[in-house]
Structure 1
Amino acid sequence: MTRYRNLALFLALAAIWGSAFVAISAGLRHFPPVLFAALRYDIAGILMLAYAIYAVDHWRPRGRAEWATVAAGAILLIAAYHAFLFVGQQNTTAAAAAILVSLSPVLTTGFARVLMPSDALSFVGVVGVLVGLVGVAVISQPDPSNLLSTDFVAKVLVFLAAASFALGAVLTRRIDASLPIETMEAWSMLGGALIMHAISVALGEPLTPADWVHPEAIGALAYLAIVASAVGFLLYFDLLERLGAVEINMVSYVAPIFTAVIGWLYLGEVVDATTLVGFGLIVVGFLLVKRRAIREEFAQHGIGRSRSGE
């Protein structure tokens, strides 16, 4: 029964995070990109802080290391990731953005090995990272004669979003701070929202509140802030504890399927064959990089099944 519950929650999380890319594209019709991202985390950050206060005793960071963890999360996991993503997604499809973001687990491993040389990647792991990057190149289709084309620049920005998230994931784990993940997420969301508001002002993004009351704008913002961020992260925390980091990473590769289907139904976006090939290469890269952890995960499950049958 537990296995079916975990599968249901896993698919729910993949559907929520996959459809979030469609909600971003819908909301970008009405909001300036960085301001849109900032508003999302104004709401999500308040909700997550309320949950942290309810769920854990240690709901406020203390000491230099804990605030450093929050700062890394605010700057990289929230502000840089979402600013690059929302700006880039103005000129690319939701499915392409979701697929490019799915490179994050591969990049996370690469950054971890660079920042911790004692745990270097094997030859096969290096090949996996390179295969994933080839997948990005296939999706982006760079034209050497026109590297400033709108579509290519948009996909580069989404790639930078994935890289920012991956680097942030490594740094927040590397800093020696015993901060509950709920607390770290809540304060990072609020800090990231403030940073994005400052970026929005610096970019001179227009404030047009009349556009924000459109039903699609309200729905997209509410969905991203409440469902994709607050509910989505609560599901993530639950599954992380139940499944572990390797299995939960697979959400990144199921979510784009939901993005493609919902994007086609709601936005009329079509995923071309080249994008599918690039996605396949990114998945292969992930399997190569994580092959040992995946093998260990299957071995543990096999042991569990044999014991339960004794």
Structure 2
Amino acid sequence: MRHRTTAAFVFLSAIWGTAFVATKVGLASLPPTLFAAMRFDIAAAVLFGFAFIRSDRLRPTSRTEWYPIITGGMLNIGIHHAFLFSGQAYIDNAAVPAVLLGLIPVITPVLTRLTTSSERLSAVGVVGLVLGFTGVVVIADPKPEALLSSDLMGVGLVLASAVAFALGAVLTHGSKSELPFFSIQAWTMLIGAVFLHATSVALPWESFAGARWTLDAVISLVYLGVVAGAGGFGLYFWLLDHIGPIEASLLEYVIPVFAAIGGWIIRGNAIDTNTVIGFAVIFVGFLLVKRADVRRELVRLRERSRTAASDAD
């Protein structure tokens, strides 16, 4: 299970890192909240298809089963993406959203103390979080004037999206449901999509007529809906259930690394010294937060090596 969660963590970081590049491409042609809504229309359709094939029950039947669906759909999908996509439309410098979302791992431990969540972070873990956030800032390399001049409205919206995402993770963690996994995720995506469509309709500056359906916009929408939406959020909620909100929030420290790699592969952006240094700082922060797991793994490997040596003798 440890290796499975590690693989899922890295894979999801790669998916959501490249999603930043796809989002920027789509926002050039599509209204932001409508873009987010259609992304989760696609994600919900894909997941309902999987649920129909793989699950023995599609519909929630109790308040206990509806709670994580409505909470996750409204906060992690709806409110988070309404704020995030709208904020990104105001901000030209892609480094600014990366830094602001890097606050999610810092916000999450604070929110856990305001809920019934039993997950806590030690003093050394706090140092690890601070180092991780420092690494994100180094990779993003935002100029001080960018944080101040990128429309204050955009900065506020992205910061609000970070709070909404962290709160959704904390409130849904530990929720018990007998509804099959694919059914839960399908309904969560649908709740989020409905909220985003309602928000888009309510915004006077957004309209379906304002969308320009370029090939790049369609490709980015499909990628965000199928891969980053259906696949990515399904993987995220699986991770949340297995490692908890604090450790799952550390995704925001690895995503910028893959965003930089994705920008290099897709758009030809150079990977500079800041990216390498930032990744090293993030890695040290990870080791501090995950030091107990790393120590257990080293002990296990040492014992396996001794056993192998004894058997050879």
TM-score, structure 2 normalization:
0.75
Gaps of 5+ in 2: none
2:31 and 2:210 in contact (8 A); partners too = no
Give 1:212's aligned residue: 212
Q: CA RMSD in A?
A: 4.0
- Whether the aligned pair in 2 keeps the contact of 1:74 and 1:188 (CA below 8 Å) is yes
CA distance in 2, matches of 1:209, 1:278: 42
**Farther off after superposition, 196-205 or 22-31:** 196-205
SS in 2 for 1:115: coil
> What is the CA deviation profile of residues 239-293 of structure 1, one whole-angstrom value per residue up to 9, with x for unaligned ones?
x59xx53897765544323321332454565678778877766665554444334
**What percentage of residue pairs aligned between the two structures are identical?**
43
Q: Distance in 2 between matches of 1:301 and 1:160?
A: 43
Deviation of residue 71 (structure 1)? Answer: 1.1
Letter in structure 1 aligned against 2:184: M
SS of residue paired to 2:173: helix
Amino acid at match of 1:88: G
Closer, same or farther: CA 92–55 of 1 in aligned 2, 3 Å: farther
Of 239, 243, 248, which residue of structure 2 is paired with 1:245? 243
List per-residue Cα deviations over 1:116-158 (Å, max 9, x = no partner): 4765433333444455566677766666xx9863256534433
Distance 1:276 1:99 in 2: 16
- In the TM superposition, residue 188 of structure 1 has moved relative to its aligned partner by 1.2
Whole-angstrom distance in 2 between the partners of 1:153 and 1:297: 45
The worse-fitting range, judged by mean Cα deviation, of 252-261 and 296-305 is: 296-305
**Matches of 1:84 and 1:121, distance apart in 2:** 28
- Deviation of residue 211 (structure 1)? 4.0
Structure 1, gaps ≥5 residues long: none
Q: 1:38-75, CA deviations, whole angstroms, 9 ceiling, x for partnerless residues?
A: 01001111111221222222332121121121111111
Contact 1:96/1:275, CA 8 A, preserved across alignment: no
The CA distance in 2 between the partners of 1:206 and 1:109, in whole Å, is 36
What's 2:39 paired with? 40
Aligned to 1:261: 261
Check if 1:56 corresponds to 2:55. yes
- Alpha-carbon distance, 1:229 to partner: 1.6
In the TM superposition, 1:71-150 aligns within 5 A as 71-90=70-89, 91-94=91-94, 97-98=97-98, 100-116=100-116, 120-131=120-131, 149-150=149-150
Q: 1:156 to 1:59 in 2, by over 3 A?
A: same
Q: CA deviation at 1:13?
A: 4.1
Q: What is the aligned length?
A: 302
Question: In structure 2, what is the equivalent of residue 198 of structure 1?
Answer: 198
Distance in 2 between the 1:250 and 1:50 partners?
A: 30
Counterpart Cα distance in 1 of 2:5 and 2:119: 31
Q: Which moved more, 1:189-198 or 1:88-97?
A: 88-97
